[in-house]
Amino acid sequence: MSSRNLVICDPDTEYAARLAAFLNGKRELAFQVKTCSSPDQIQEAAAQMPVDILLISEECREMYDLQGEGEKADKTVLLTSEREGRRDMDAIFKYQSGEQICMCLVQLLAREEKADLLRIRKRGNGRIIGFYSPVRRLGQTRMALQKGRELSRMENVLYLNMETYAGAGLYFPEERQRNMSELLYYAKQGSKKLAAVLAGLVRNQGGLDYVPPAVIPDDIRDVSPGEWIWLFEEILRTSIYDTLVLDIGDSVQGLYRILEACDEIHMPAADDPAASSKIRQFEEALEQAGCGHAAERVVRCDIRRTAPGKGAGQTGSVKRDRRR
């Protein structure tokens, strides 16, 4: 896969160098990143190579626009010091983390259906980490979010809530218009625009990217197992995300098939008799359904409800398996 050329033009050469180093270090992005400090240097670079994406500071933008000769970048984005951005042009707030700048750039290109400018170099098929327990009220969502935030420090992670009642407004701000329901609509159509739709839906909180949960329960219940699997694979194939963290509810169709698609299954558990009985029944049901290999990938997250003062422990094993 040939790389795309991205040029950062900013008179603050130290800032440009730091941002370039970060983007060059994003192995999944097929960028060749170069820096310059003036519009004249952009033209010099353009004479040697096509400039696919130009990130240019406010100080340099006006002079660059006045240059009538020479090749222009295929896509120009303003690096602005205004946090609210500009309405008259594509802009990214420059004084934020490199991860956020990268994400803003991906979302901007996807929304404009210019994803062809952003070649994504995948390290593999990615991985899916599921959180599910037949025992309720054990903090499953809290555990899934905590795991997602831990992983997001080192890789690109997306959290998806698959519960019919996700408690909108509790863990995340409620989004009644643009949320998981919209993503599922395009998944049911098998739409090629899914990557662009996803880019417009993703939000970030505490360093973790997520799609706001659905607020209409039937939007979760009506998705077939095949549509769920297609959605997961399409996100891993076409987006920047390496890992999906799934917060799985009981009402999804094809629960066992979804669990089979997971590389790891984290199961909140407790040691009281009722919880133990439910988990034992669930494991037996997996075996009877011919999904015993999924049980091998379960990691129990023991809450120890009946043992005050003890910390949460983990038992079980994780065994990677090829998703079907």
Q: Is residue 324 part of a domain?
A: no
Greatest Cα-to-Cα distance within the chain, rounded to the nearest angstrom: 78
Same domain for 166 and 301, yes or no, is yes
| Count of the separate structural domains present in the chain | 2
Provide the CATH number for the domain around residue 280: 3.40.50.300
Same domain for 20 and 80, yes or no, is yes
Per-position b or e across 265-291, b if 16+ CB within 10 A of its CB:
bbbbbbeeeebeebbeebbeebeeeeb
pLDDT averaged over 10-residue windows placed end to end, the chain, 324 residues: 79 93 72 88 84 91 72 86 72 88 80 60 75 86 94 92 85 83 92 80 88 93 94 88 93 92 88 82 83 79 52 39 41
Q: What is the pLDDT of residue 274?
A: 81
Question: pLDDT tens for residues 243-267?
Answer: 999 999 999 999 999 999 999 999 8
Nearest to 91 by CA among 104, 103, 102: 104
Boundary-marking domain end, from 99, 117, 135: 117
Boundary-marking domain end, from 59, 82, 117: 117
Same domain for 149 and 88, yes or no, is no
Q: What is the pLDDT of residue 116?
A: 60
Q: What is the pLDDT of residue 104?
A: 84
| Owning domain of residue 148 | 127-316
Same domain for 183 and 251, yes or no, is yes
Q: What is the pLDDT of residue 230?
A: 94
Q: Where are the beta strands (DSSP E) in the chain?
A: 4-9, 31-36, 53-57, 75-80, 91-93, 127-131, 157-162, 203-205, 208-210, 243-248, 264-269, 298-302, 313-316
Q: What is the pLDDT of residue 323?
A: 44
Q: What is the pLDDT of residue 156?
A: 87
Same domain for 97 and 198, yes or no, is no
